[in-house]
Every structure is written in structure tokens, then in C-alpha cells.
Amino acid sequence: MQATEIARERDTLNLKVETLRNELDQAKREVATVRRSIVEEKQSLEQRLDEERKGKERVRQQLDTRMEEVQRRKSKFACL
């Protein structure tokens, strides 16, 4: 009688262990998915930030060029 009870308990515990292993595997997959998602989002945000920086730099260079043109025009008028 004791042997069958022990066997049942063993089977029950084995099922619980298997269930917990499956849950752990699922959790690991979810963590990996979230990590990948975060890495992709970070790369996307870094790319957007880089594009914005480049855009600001272009605008700044255009402004500098225009300011130089205005300064040249001023110096021509000053000569007259």
C-alpha cells in the first residue's frame, strides 16, 4: 500500500516538475522576445536621433551660409 502511494506522489511531483519546466521555458522565451524588442526599439530611436542631429546640423550650416551672405552684402553697402 505504501509503495503505490509513494508511486502516485512521485508521479504527481514529476508532473509538477514538468509543468514548472514548461513555465520556465515559456518565461525564458518571453524574456528573449522582450529583449529583442527593446534592442530593436533602441536601435530605431538611435537612428531617429541621429537623423534629427544630422538635420539640425544641415539647418545650422544653411543658417551660417546665409549669415555669411548677409555679412558680405553689408560690407558691399558699407563701401558705397
Q: pLDDT tens across 10-47, in order?
A: 999 999 999 999 999 999 999 999 999 999 999 999 99
Note down the domain range covering 57.
1-80
Q: What percentage of the chain carries pLDDT values higher than 70?
A: 92
The amino acid that residue 57 corresponds to is E
What H or E segment, with its residue span, contains residue 23? helix 2-79
Q: pLDDT tens across 25-34, in order?
A: 999 999 999 9
Number of domains within the chain: 1
Q: Which residue has the cell 534592442?
A: 39
Q: Which residue has the cell 546640423?
A: 57
